[in-house]
Structure formats: C-alpha cells, structure tokens
Chains A and B, each alone.
Chain A
Amino acid sequence: MNMNSSRIGVFVCRCGDKIEPLVDLESLGSQISGIPDVVTCRTLNYPCTRPGMEEIISEVAKNRLDRLVIAGCEGRLMLKKFETELEKMGLLKGQIDMVNVRGHVASVSDLPPQEKAQKAAKLIRASAAELSALIPTPQAISNLTGPVMIVGGGISAYMAAKELDQNGIDFMLSAPTHDPNEVIRRLHLAYPGERESHDRVKKLAVEVVQSPHGTLLPPGELTGLSGVTGDYALTFRDKETGESRTYRAGLIIACIDAELHPSGPSFGHDGETVLQQSDLEEYIWTRGAPRGRVLFWVSDYETGQEEFAKLSAKGAWNMARHIRSCSPQSHAMILYDQRMEIPLNAGERALNRALGIEWIPCDKAVRPTVQDRQITFCGTNDHLEHDIEWDLLVISPERALGGEGLRTAEVLGLVHKHDRFLTGHHARVRPEMVGKEESYLAGSGRYPCDLDEALAQGRRAALKSIDMLKKAENHELHVPRVVCVVDPDKCIGCGQCQELCDCGGIGVEIGPGGGLPRMVDPLVCTGGGTCAAACPYHALTLQNNSNDQREARIAALSSHLGPDEVVAFACAWGGLPAADIAGKMGMKYDPNVHILGIPCVGQLDPSVMARAFLEGAPGLLLVGCLPEECHHSFGVDHSWSRVSLIKKLLSLSGFDKRRIALAHADLNRPEAFIRTVESFSHAIKTLGPIERTPNNLSKLKTLYNMARDNSRVRHLLSAGLRRPWEDVYRGDQRHALEYDRDFTAVLVEEYMQQRLIDVMQNERRPLRINELATALHEDERRVASCLMGMVSDGMLHFSHKEREAYYALNN
C-alpha cells in the first residue's frame, strides 16, 4: 500500500440527542464530501459502540481508507478505543483524528443547526487537511540488547546487579571498590545506623562480585556519555593512571547516594564530642560502642530538612539500640522535635522499653542550644528550659547530593534543575511516559531513604530494565509513534535542541569533531516538540505530528474563516480539556472561536502562527497550561517567546499585535477559559479583519517567510527561548532590555531585507531604489542603506544604467 495515498474517511456521530437535533447533519455531510482526499463520509448513530465500530471497520476495508476523522466527542476519552479497534486494520496512532463536534460546536452556542454545520465542517476540513499532510511511519520496534551498565557507586547497585544476575542478564558494574569488606566498611558514610543489615549486604556483594554475568570495571570516574538507549557508550577515566576507556551498554542504571555532611557551626560539630551520625558509626568501627551518656539530637527541623527527621530518628534509634546492647552501663537518649511522630512500630516500642532508650520531646518554638557537655531545650509540658548532660552528642546529618555522585548525574543528564536531590523524571504526559526515565535511577541521591528502600529501588530499576530487555527479545518493544527524528542533512549540530529538551531525548553522536547532539532517543523522547519548533533549520521533525501537518491544519481552517472568526490552539492538558468540559457542561461562548487541539503549545512553530494570518485568520489565540504546570516543562514559556516574535513582526508590518495572544487555562476552571476566549474574540471583533489587499498580502507573506525560513531570526529566537527571568538553563542570562532591543533591531533589519527580496522576486527585473522604496512605502535612505548591506553580504548585485543604480537578486 502506498503510504502517502491519503484516502480519508469521515465518520460523523449523531450521538443521540447531543448532536443530531443541534447540527444540520445533512448539510454537514454534503460540505464534507467536497473536502480534498475525503473518499467517504458516513453519519452513524454511535461510531463508538459495537455496531458503529463494525460499520467503520467494513468501510475502512471497502474503501481502503488509511486515515480517519471521527467527528463526535472528546478524543481524550474516545480516541484510544478507536486506535485499539482499528490497529488491526493497519491504522496506527496518528492516522485517526477526532473532532469534538458535540463539545466544541453543538452545545456551546445557540446558532441555528445550519450554521453549526458550517462550523463543524470547517473543523473537520482542518482535521482532514492535517491528515492529508501526514506521512505515516511504519511501527518501529526497538532491538534493545544488553549489557546493562550500573554506574554511580551507590549501594543499590548490588541489589540491581543481583537481580540482573538472577535473570541471566549481563551487566557491567562501576563501583569505587569491589571488595565486599570494603563495601561494608564504607556503607555507613551514606547509610548510618544500618549495622544489622551489614551481613546481608556483604553476602549480596560477594554474590555480585562472583557472578558469571558480571563484568567489574576498574574504579574510575564517568566522564562521557554518548548514544541512545540500546547503544550507549560510556567513558571512564581511571583514577590512578588517568587513562580513559570506553564501554558500550544497552541500558544504564544509575545508583547514586546522597552525601551526609555535618551541620553548621551553631550545632557545635567538632568530630570528637559532637558527632554527626556517620561519624558515630566510624567511632563504633574504630573504638567500639561508646560508654557514658550518648544523646542523639534529631536536628533535622533546625537544619531545614524536616522531611527527613523520621529517617534520622530511625537511624539514631538503631545506633542507640546497638550502644545499649553492647554496654548496658551506657545511657542513650533521643531528643526530638514535638512535631515529629516517633517512627517505631509496636514491636519496636516494646524493644525500646526493654532497652530503656529515652525519647525526649522538645517544644518546637525554642531551638535547643548546644553547650559544652549539655544541651538546653524547652519542655513540651511545662515550657521550662531544661538541660540534658551528655558525654557524646550525635546530631543529624545534612543530606545533599554532591561530589562524584553529582558529577555522574550531570554526565548522565539526570540533573534537570539544581536542587539538593535528583528529581527523577518530571514529565507528566501520556501514561506510556509515566515513570519513564532517561536511565533508571536508584539510591538516596534521588530522595533520602534508608538502606532497605535504597536496595528496593535498585531492584525495581533492574526489574524495569529486565522487562524492557525481555520485551525487546520478543520483538514487542514498540517505539512510540510520536517522537522527534533528526534529518542529518539539515542538522548543523548547534545543540539548541538539547539545551531546550525537557526529556533528555536528544542524544550525542560521536563524530570526527567530537560529540554532536544530533540524534534522538525514541525510547526517551516524550514528543513535546518544542525542540522541533526551535530548530533554526527545521532539521528536527516530530514524526506523525509534524509541523507541515499543523501548517496544513491551520491553513485549511484560516482560509475558510469569516471576518470575525478566530482560531484558538488549545493544549491537550489545559485549554482543550477546559473547552471539552465547558462543552460537556453546556456552557455557552462566542461561536466565532474555533478550537484546534494540540499536544502542547510549545509545538507551535512560529511559521504555523504566521501561516494563520497569511491564510486569512483575523486573530490567533494560544491556550496553554498554567505556568509551572506545563506537562512538557517549558512548552508554554517557549511559546511565549514565539508569540512575542510574531507580535513584533505584526507591528513591523503595520498590523495590530493584539491579533495574537497567549493564554493560560486550568482544565478544572472552564468558566475562566470562557472568559479568556470571549475577551480575545471581542478584541478581534473590535480590530476587524485584515483587509486582503495586495500590499497586506505581500507583507503577510514576508512575515511568514521570516518566521519559517530566516535562520538568523530563528537562531536568535531559539537561543533566547526563555523568559528573561528564567535561569534554569545553562549559559549566560542576558539583560532583559538589552536582549529585547537587540532582538528587535535584528528583526527590523531582517524584515526590510526580506521585504526587498520578496518585491524583487515578484517583479523579476532589476529595480531602482525609488521603485523599491515606493513598493515598501519606506524612506529611500533607509532602503538604500539596507540595499548596500545586502550587496556587501553578497545577496544582491547592482548595475548602472543612465546614471541610476538597478538592483537585482543574485542567482
């Protein structure tokens, strides 16, 4: 079958009394039949029930349909059912689109059925145009193979390795030491108070070291990572010799532990009488259990890490237990903030009573003060200041990722924002993405936890890897259909995409000149698409959801809009569900607003926005998520920059910049969404349509060409894709005013050049300065200086005839 044949079937749902009486379906049917590539159009009672679905399947077979538009209700609820049922007919994700006629047309206004049919037809036409422009890819299957590389030096590595070993999967282990005794010796540095588990962990380490499936790498520092899932290359530098060696692996498991540091000087830490928890463990290792009065102060509330108070308290209790059972003469006490619940279960409480470990609450209002051999605190019952005398004071550690763990995480691209811990993956998008990480992450570097939890995380990470490898072995590891792909012929390796990418899906390719970020990891890419919209050369494409498709969609809709009608792109996580819910609740809003759904407004290339105006839309509204709630992290913010570009270009062309606007919506506040669209559509009504004069059309064409093809503008735009106050990106932050002024100056310059080029291309003959100035309605001197610049850049040449200069385009 020719994949680009484009045979579209449209199925319109009557939906009981929800669509049929409100929309003139007969008229809608005849309007749809005229849409290019539409082979068949049927009106069904309920396409989504068994009878309707069977009808669709037989139509697909009869007419060899390869793309479907279902005009009914919310795609968010129903699309999956159609995709699942029609997969066996060869229709894959991306080849079926849904138009919410019920929620965006039928229920939201009081228009007569005939006019609602027109509105529905416009939306269906747009959807069909998008499907016509689709170049469907075949379903790719990943042939992922091992080995699994375990890096990071965390203790969870051993649990992960054991799990892989038991499943017969080869692994490579990079750890600071491979001697099980040494592993135990160092364990307390990250996990104090876990003495009871030492034998167990040692046994685990012995098993792993002896595993026939394992390769133990010499101790080294991870310095480089290239490639994508299934084909990673990791470079380690040997600590002693300084030599670098590269290993290849299919998957990576990162086992990273946080570091424990003593608190600041006000806690009195001196390493001798005032210790931090892991110092005490070291003390016990070298000198045995201390005698005398040992006071554990759960100081996490005071250090600002109150969420870890229970963890510290548990560690303290474990050590207190050890001290009490080693030397019955010693006295163990735990001072804790009254806000903390004592983290002991019934059995542990009984043991606590038997051992006589004292838990002393202190009032949260007064911070305990450390003095020599005593601490003062405020009692919770009497509010008196009490003193406790101690021989050894043990305070809670401050926990944070640091040192080598942090360096490893940075090389692996796990650091999304600078925080004390690694957040794991943050993208909250479609379920297939949930819990998906660029590499599996385990250990207290992710979130402070006890040893058991860290080991369990290691095991889970290994199980996920095993699951993926098994799937790949059975040829069931499907590559997601909507992911980015790079065209290596267009890519110059500028790395803008990698800097913007929120999912870590841009991989590094090792070329002759070093690492170039110019490949996509399809198993990591979330399909956000802001990277594709940012590419100055259109080298990145979101497959099965491309920029060409969106341009086709907006063009088909804009060219059929009336003078007051506006287009709104609504993101699938904010604007679109808000519109769906408004429609379901029967809320009314201005029927002139035509809503198009899009997975994220960050996908919208400025060329799509410019295309809307070129094709005749008087206004374009973008409704994204709330700031900070963007499911693709920065999509809304990037869109802000692109909208701002179009605003500047509109102003330069003499149009009102209010014709484009970015809005934010929360799906659970449909009434606010309605206020947003009504306000925008009112503004456009006041402005009126853009007159389709030849001069206006030529300016809009220039605007579109600049947004789509001017690589200088696009480069500058993507380099500055952030609001001036955002500092989560690498690189220098520019002064907000300077950046804006420079950017505007470039636009002014490029706009005039583009206008001149467009005029010359139209006229197809050498032109004089005054002719060009008249065509542009511009001052002759400004045109002249621009022409001189273009000549010296080699874009134009000029010749003299009768003492007048004539300018023409090169080639």
Chain B
Amino acid sequence: MEKITFQINDREVEARPGWTVLETAREYGIEIPTLCFHEAVLPSGACRLCMVEIKDGDWSKLVASCIYPAAKGINVYTETERVSNVRRWIFEMLLAQVPASPEIADLAARYGVTRTRFPVKDPEEMCMLCGLCQRVCEEVVGLSAISTVDRGVHKRVGAPFLRPSDVCVACGCCVNICPTGAMRALFDSIRGETKTTLTQLTA
C-alpha cells in the first residue's frame, strides 16, 4: 500500500492513506491531548484541544490533528509556542466553562494550567458540549436518544424536549464515553427514573 512520509517534531514518520495526523502521532508514541476524540466514533474536531502546528518555511498554520489527514512532506509540530499558547487558552476556557469537572481540571493541570482568567458562569457545570454522547448514541448504539437542545449559548445536552426518552435503552455508553463526567448527572434525566432503587444505591 502507498506510503505517506512526513515529519512530526522533526522525526520522520510513515502513514498510509486514510490515517490522520493524530493517529500517526499516536502510532509513534507522540502525545497529543484530546477531549472530543474517541476511537469508537468518527472524529469531529469540536474541542480544538488536539491542535498542532504545520510549518512550511516561515509560514505556518494550526490544525486540529484528529481530523487533519496525513499528507506527504508536511512538517507537524506538537509542542511549539503557538500550540501551547492555543492549548492554554482552550484549557482556560474549559476551566471557566466546566469548573465542576475534575477530569478537565486534572488534564489542564498536566499541561500546567490551573487557573482561568475567564469569568465562571456556572460553578456547577460539567458539560463542555463535545457531543461525544450524542455521537456514540448514534454511531455505536444506533439510536438517537440524546441530542443537543437549544442553540448558541443556551445549547445543552439532553433528550429531545428534555423529557426522558422512550428510545433510550439505558446502555450507559454515553456515561462511559463522557470525558468530563457530566453525563453521570444527566443520565437519569435521559433514561427516566428507574422503577426501583435499592437503598444502598441511593445512599
């Protein structure tokens, strides 16, 4: 099969048609942080955390590596100043948007971001609207029990009309895939109240 050679962090790597920059980097053990990317579903490039810099002479651009296809001769850099700058901004925005998510706080801390200069709108918020839950429900489970409701700044995740969904089979794939832990709180509003609860479970 055709080989595509290019460089990541000045190291020569080899990909094949259909591979993305992120997949190639992972195959070579080069770490790029991701949030809205999950192998079970198609990439969507929503969170922009996987940004890398592609340099060509003195010209360069930032791309989302999860959806950028590997191409012959490109020079990819995962840890340049521009990349870490963008990453820091994204982490700061995430910290402001989902202050209640320990997963996001941990990930941000690993990249040295522990505080945000943006105002926190809702200190309880955990969902960053990456859409993984919606995508896993549609692509893996084969249903559409979850969707995003409303638009713009009012957008949030829920069952259609924010009522427990008849379609939901309560498989928990969305809880499992959620990178921020937000789905755990939302899950009961989507599958509906369970008919029975054991005392120890509600404790």
Contacts and interface: CB of A to CB of B under 8 A. Distances in A.
Interface of A: 16, 45-46, 48-52, 54, 74, 76-78, 80-81, 428-432, 434, 573, 577, 580-581, 584-585, 626-629, 631, 664, 666-669, 672, 675
B195 A628 contact: yes
Given A581-B176, A626-B201, A50 B140 contact: no
Given A45-B27, A49-B39, A51-B23, A666 B169 contact: no
A584 B37 CA distance: 16
Contact of A46 (B27, B140, B171, B196): B27
A432 B40 CA distance: 18
B26 A629 contact: no
Contacts of B31: 16
Contact of A666 (B40, B140, B197): B197
Nearest to A577: B172
B170 A431 contact: no
Range, interface on chain B: 35 or more
A77 B24 contact: no
A585 B167 contact: no
Interface stretch (B13-21, B46-54, B150-158): B13-21
Interface of B: 15-16, 18-20, 23-24, 26-27, 29, 31, 38-40, 136, 140-143, 167, 169-173, 175-177, 181, 184, 187-188, 194-198, 200-201, 203
B197 to A, nearest CB: 7
Contact of B195 (A16, A629, A667): A629
B39 A46 contact: yes
A428 B177 CA distance: 20
A667 to B, nearest CB: 4
Contacts of A675: 200
Nearest to A667: B172
Contacts of A664: 198
A766 to B, nearest CB: 55
Contacts of B197: 626, 666
Most buried by B among A51, A74, A675: A51
A675 B181 CA distance: 21
15 contacts: A16-B31, A46-B39, A51-B24, A76-B140, A76-B171, A77-B40, A432-B142, A434-B169, A577-B171, A577-B176, A631-B170, A666-B197, A668-B184, A669-B201, A675-B200
Contact of A672 (B18, B173, B175, B200): B200
Nearest to B31: A16
Nearest to A429: B169
B200 A80 contact: no
B170 A428 contact: yes
Nearest to B139: A80
A668 B27 contact: no
B175 A667 contact: yes
Given A74-B176, A431-B143, A629-B196, 8 more contacts: A45-B26, A49-B27, A77-B140, A577-B175, A581-B175, A581-B176, A628-B194, A666-B194
Contacts of A45: 26-27, 29
Contacts of B38: 77
A628 B38 CA distance: 33
Contacts of B176: 74, 76-77, 577, 580-581, 584
A580 B39 CA distance: 16
Contact of A434 (B39, B40, B143): B143
Nearest to A672: B201
Contacts of A49: 23, 26-27, 39
Contacts of B24: 51
A631 to B, nearest CB: 7
A668 B39 contact: no
Going nearest first, the 8 A-B pairs with the smallest beta carbon separation are A431-B142, A48-B39, A577-B172, A667-B172, A51-B27, A628-B195, A77-B40, A49-B23
Nearest to B29: A45
Contacts of B196: 626-629
A809 B124 CA distance: 73
Given A76-B172, A626-B196, A51 B40 contact: no
A77 B172 contact: no
A430 B70 CA distance: 35
A430 B40 CA distance: 17
B157 to A, nearest CB: 15
A80 B140 contact: yes
B194 A581 contact: no
Contacts of A429: 169
Contacts of B181: 585
A579 to B, nearest CB: 11
A627 B188 CA distance: 17
A755 to B, nearest CB: 38
A49 B177 CA distance: 16
A78 B197 CA distance: 29
A628 B31 CA distance: 45
A45 B26 CA distance: 7
Contacts of A77: 38, 40, 136, 140, 173, 176-177
A16 B62 CA distance: 24
B188 to A, nearest CB: 7
B173 A668 contact: no
B19 A51 contact: yes
Nearest to B140: A80
A732 to B, nearest CB: 27
A52 B18 CA distance: 12
Contacts of B177: 77
Contacts of A629: 170, 194-196
Contacts of A50: 16, 18-20, 23
Contacts of A432: 142
B172 A581 contact: yes
A76 B141 CA distance: 9
Contact of A573 (B171, B188, B203): B171
A430 B170 CA distance: 10
Contacts of A430: 169, 171
Nearest to A585: B181
Most chain A CB within 10 A, of B136, B140, B187, is at B140
Contacts of A666: 194, 197-198, 201
B141 A431 contact: yes
A429 B40 CA distance: 20
A626 to B, nearest CB: 5
A625 to B, nearest CB: 9
Contacts of A48: 39-40
A16 B26 CA distance: 8
A626 B194 contact: yes
Nearest to A432: B142
Contacts of A672: 198, 200-201, 203
A223 B173 CA distance: 44
A672 B15 CA distance: 45
A672 B202 CA distance: 9
Contacts of B143: 431, 434
A140 to B, nearest CB: 21
A185 to B, nearest CB: 36
A591 B75 CA distance: 45
- Report which residue of A430, A667, A668, A669 has the largest number of chain B beta carbons within 10 angstroms of its beta carbon: A668
B103 to A, nearest CB: 9
Nearest to B203: A672
B60 to A, nearest CB: 26
A493 to B, nearest CB: 34
A581 B19 CA distance: 29
Contacts of A16: 26, 31
Contact of B40 (A78, A428, A431, A585): A78
A577 B187 CA distance: 13
Contacts of A668: 172, 175, 184, 187-188
A191 to B, nearest CB: 24
B148 to A, nearest CB: 20
A80 B177 CA distance: 14
A434 B167 contact: yes
A429 B198 CA distance: 22
B169 to A, nearest CB: 4
Tell which of B15, B38, B176, B188 has the most Cβ of chain A within 10 Å. Answer: B176
